[in-house]
Amino acid sequence: MHELSLMEALRDLALQQAEAEGAVRIAVMTLRVGSLAGVEIEALRFAFAAVMADTIAAAAVLRIEVVPAVCRCGGCGRRFAALDGVCECPSCGAISRELLQGRELQLTSLEIA
């Protein structure tokens, strides 16, 4: 259940950014979350509501873009979706480590007023 500490980090980041812009409220926060980031989206939403209470983001909407895990084959260079987190190339069958995306835990934008 580290979703709570991630949402606390999000709150601190978002408030800092919004206040630097002189915002009086945050309407929307958009996150990119990788499918191998090790978090549960529902748990993120639950924690989000709890940690934003009593801030200028209390009524903010949380938008989450899920980033699918994509690997690059160490053998033939093909890019492919890493199903179940395994980088097994569908072309040549090689198993490699290079994950191009899928671990993201990023705040990408804030809608403020």
Partner 1 sequence: MCSHCSCGVAEVPRELPQEVSSASPPAPAPLPRTLAVTTSLLQRNDELAAVNRQRFAAAGVRVVNLLSSPGSGKTALLEQLAGRLQRRGDVAMAVVVGDLATDNDARRLAATGTPAVQITTGQACHLEAAMVQRAVDELEARGQPLSELALLVIENVGNLVCPAAYDLGEGLRLVLLSVTEGEDKPLKYPAMFHSADVVLIAKSDLAEVVGFDRAAARAAVARVAPHARLLEVSARSGDGMEALLELLL
Binding interface with partner 1 (CB under 8 A) = 1-2, 4-6, 9-10, 12-13, 17-18, 21-24, 27, 31, 36-39, 84-88, 95-97, 99, 103-113
Instruction: Kindly state the smallest distance separating residue 54's Cβ from partner 1, in Å.
Output: 20
Q: Considering the complex, what minimum distance in angstroms separates the CB of residue 53 from partner 1?
A: 18
CB of 71 within 8 A of CB of 99? Answer: yes
Query: Is the Cβ–Cβ distance between 70 and 80 less than 8 Å?
Result: yes
Nearer to partner 1, 55 or 96 (CB): 96
Give the contacts of 59 (CB within 8 A, at least 6 positions apart).
25, 27
